[in-house]
Amino acid sequence: MSKEQKDAVLTTSHLGIDFGGLTAVDEFNISIAPTEIKGLIGPNGAGKTTIFNMLTGVYRPSRGTITLNGKDTKNMSPVQVNHAGIARTFQNIRLFDKLTVEENVKIGLHENVKYGMFSGILRLPSYWKEEKRSHERALELLDIFGMADEADVRADSLPYGAQRRLEIVRALATDPKLLLLDEPAAGMNPSETEELMKNIRKIRDDFKIAVMLIEHDMNLVMGICENIVVVNFGKIIAEGTPEMIQNDARVIEAYLGGKKEED
């Protein structure tokens, strides 16, 4: 194991998954440094979200290993993976629609709020103390995106861009070491995307965490990612800095060839 891998927050080796005999992802080897922003790009259907699903325990990999801070997370459930330190957002937004913005963030804080069911029912002092703490923490986190004013709004009545931002706040609330963002800028206009880029960097700097993001907006990817992994047909075809990726013949080929079979 190289030094780089030893220090990494997450490493995968020979990671792969088959669906009914069809190989969806194979030989996926990456390593993410503790405060790195990494891009995961590739044409539609390349297996990017499948990779996220494997990393977060939604799918069980058919082979290979996933190591998070020295711990093997390959056979963990999504809940265990989250507790181990990976948080994520979803390509198709998954908020708790009928809960308020603040309550959505409080779900992220769930593990962190320390009072039991009976303290809650009997309204013991620990309930009041911890509820106050989680309320303050939720507002603090919402403030990263300037959303503290909308704390009492129902999540499903937020505009699209704000819903994406709320998902990020909720993921952050779980206190992760690695944040996985699945198309965070989808559906945002250029000025919102610009704002988002700034905030992703700010999150990385303030929370000292690693970020890996799937994104089709190349301005965003090239603008903030320090390293980029390109996948096609479930395999890594290129890896390196934005400059290297932009000039890689295989990547250009994959994107031009991939256009025809967009889903």
Partner 1 sequence: MEFIRKLKKHTKVSFLNYGIVIAFYFAVQIMAVTGHLSNSLKGQLIPIVSYVIVALALNLVVGISGELSLGHAGFMSVGAFSGVVVSMSVADSIPNPGLRLVIAILVGAALAGVAGVVIGIPVLRLNGDYLAIVTLAFGEIIKNVMNCLYVGVDGKGIHVSFKDTASLGMAADGKILINGPMGATGITKLSTFMAGTILLVIVLVIIQNLVNSRTGLAIMAIRDNRIAAEASGVPVTKHKLIAFVTSAAIAGAAGALYALNYSTIAPKKFDFNTSILILVFVVLGGIGNMTGTIIAAALLTMLPELLRKFADYRMLIYAIVLILVMIATNNEKIRSFIRGIGKSAKKEDGANE
Partner 2 sequence: MLANLINGISLGSVYAIIALGYTMVYGIAKMLNFAHGDVIMVGGYISFCSITYLGWPPALAVLASVAVCTVLGIVIEGLAYKPLRNATSLAVLITAIGVSYFLQNAALLIWTSNTKVFPNIFANLPAIQMGGTQVAPVTVITVLANIVIMVALTLFTSRTKMGKAMRAVSEDKGAATLMGINVNRTISMTFAIGSGLAAIAGVLLCTAYPTLMPTTGAMPGIKAFTAAVFGGIGSIPGAMLGGVLLGVIEIFGKAYVSTQLSDAIVFAVLIIVLLVKPTGLLGHQVREKV
How far apart are CB 210 and partner 1 at their closest, in Å? Answer: 17
End-to-end CA distance of the chain: 39
Q: Does the protein bind partner 1 through residue 58 (CB under 8 A)?
A: yes
Give the amino acid at 204: R
**C-alpha–C-alpha distance, residues 4 and 8, integer Å:** 6
**Interacting stretch for partner 1, rule CB under 8 A, among 79-87, 158-166, 194-202, 219-227?**
79-87
Binding to partner 2 (CB under 8 A) within 181-220 occurs at none
Q: Does the protein bind partner 1 through residue 127 (CB under 8 A)?
A: yes
Q: Return the SS3 of 71.
A: strand
**C-alpha–C-alpha distance, residues 103 and 98, integer Å:** 10
How far apart are CB 57 and partner 1 at their closest, in Å? Answer: 8
Q: Which of 113, 153, 186, 237 binds partner 1 (CB under 8 A)?
A: 113
Kind of pairing between the strands at 178-182 and 86-88: parallel
Q: How many CB atoms lie within 10 A of CB 202?
A: 12
Give the amino acid at 230: V
Contacted by 22, from partner 1, partner 2, none: CB < 5 to 8 Å by type: none
**C-alpha–C-alpha distance, residues 261 and 37, integer Å:** 29
Contacted by 49, from partner 1, partner 2, none: CB < 5 to 8 Å by type: partner 2
- Which stretches of the chain bind partner 1, using CB under 8 A? 56, 58, 77-79, 82-83, 87-88, 90, 94-99, 103-104, 106-108, 110-111, 113, 115, 117, 120-123, 127, 130-131, 134, 170-171, 173-174
